[in-house]
Amino acid sequence: MRPELERDYVEYVRARLRRLHRTAYLLCGDGHRADDIVQATLTALYVNWKRAAAADNIDAYVHRILLRRYFDDRRTRWSRVRLGDVPAAVTAVAAADERVEDRDELVTALRSLPKGQRAVLVLRFLDDLSVEDTARALGCSAGNVKSQSARGLAALRAHFPVRG
């Protein structure tokens, strides 16, 4: 790769690495698997950087790679193997002002959702993508994103009753 392209790649990754890891973690709920998914995403991005850099929306391009890696990871048998409990400190990805209990509850609730609903909610509301960008990243229609959002939010609302 030419030096200027490599420099652009490194700058892009530095600026978005934390967000990519957070997205992967919220999708899979495991810090180690999130690391693997992000690494596979960045490897694929590096290989295709010239094409990615020319894309109209590079973030949507990268989200699509990340989601493919997440779905691929879910299909493999080894991804269901658990070696033991992972300490909460290892998987901490939340911002400093978030309460750990809330984050843990949210991750547990997200894990209970089907993978399509989880992916839509993470991209729409935690990564702040538009309906159209989420649809592009997932390779589906905007209507599908809206219906998955509605179902996922209804399930989360049932998990988090109003506290009063």
Query: Higher confidence at residue 85 or residue 116?
Result: 116
- What is the pLDDT of the chain when averaged over all its residues? 82
Query: Higher confidence at residue 125 or residue 91?
Result: 125
pLDDT at 99: 55
Report the percentage of the chain scoring pLDDT > 90. 46
Q: Which domains does the chain have, with CATH numbers?
A: 3-159 (1.20.140.160)
Q: Name the packing angle between helices 3-28 and 58-75 (round to 10°).
A: 50
pLDDT at 92: 41
Region of 128 (left: φ > 0; alpha: ψ -120 to 50; beta: rest) is left
Q: Is the pLDDT of residue 47 over 90?
A: yes
CA distance 55 to 108: 35
pLDDT at 100: 56
